[in-house]
Structure 1
Amino acid sequence: MLEKKPSPSYKRWLGTTAKTIFVAEVVGFAFSYGIWYKLNTERDFRLYMHKNLNWVLEGYYRLGEVIADHKTRELDKKIWTQEGKI
């Protein structure tokens, strides 16, 4: 009969580390997708980001301008100025 031997500790450590990294990447991707979705669909959220986390909004605008030639930045500023929000 074959004897069962415990796996070496480095193999267990590598497996646990790989699972932890995978879970962290999935959580990070889900979070970033959620932020992008809200930025893409809600002008009020973009205004909140403009006032509080402007660097995130600038990255969103830049990505849209490079990939799809969007004019969201100009449209947002025009509407916010008309509404007296900025």
Structure 2
Amino acid sequence: MSRGRRIWNGMKYVIYVELAALAGGYYVWHKMNINQDYRKYMHKTFPLVLEIFYKTAEYGGIKDARTNDYEKWGVQPKS
């Protein structure tokens, strides 16, 4: 097997892993976007991921997602 062929075979696996990570990330983002209970679960278990979601939502123009969630959950926002 030529050297170029081995490199291409290795790169295929890297591309597959990156596509799987992208699909998984989109799945989690979509689920957080439509399900407030899932956001609460993420708040308890993966707060950094939820913070990234809120920052992305604020950048996209949804300014009150964090406020609405915290009010419904009875959580005080961190200052």
TM-score interval w.r.t. the shorter chain? 0.7 to 0.9
**What pairs with 1:48-67 in structure 2 (closer than 5 Å)?**
48-67=41-60
| AA in 2 matched with 1:37 | H
Larger RCO of the pair (alpha carbons < 8 Å, separation 6+): 2
The separation in 2 between residues aligned to 1:66 and 1:19, in whole angstroms, is 34
**What pairs with 1:1-86 in structure 2 (closer than 5 Å)?**
7-8=1-2, 10-81=3-74
The Cα offsets for residues 21-41 of structure 1, whole Å up to 9 and x where unpaired, read as 110111011100000011001
Structure 1: runs of 5+ lacking an equivalent: 1-6
The separation in 2 between residues aligned to 1:51 and 1:22, in whole angstroms, is 32
Structure 2: runs of 5+ lacking an equivalent: none
| AA in 2 matched with 1:81 | G
RMSD across aligned C-alpha pairs, in angstroms? 1.5
Normalised by the size of structure 1, how large is the TM-score? 0.80
* Equivalent residue pairs, number: 75
Q: Secondary structure at the match of 1:68?
A: coil
The Cα offsets for residues 33-77 of structure 1, whole Å up to 9 and x where unpaired, read as 000011001101000010111000000001111222431000000
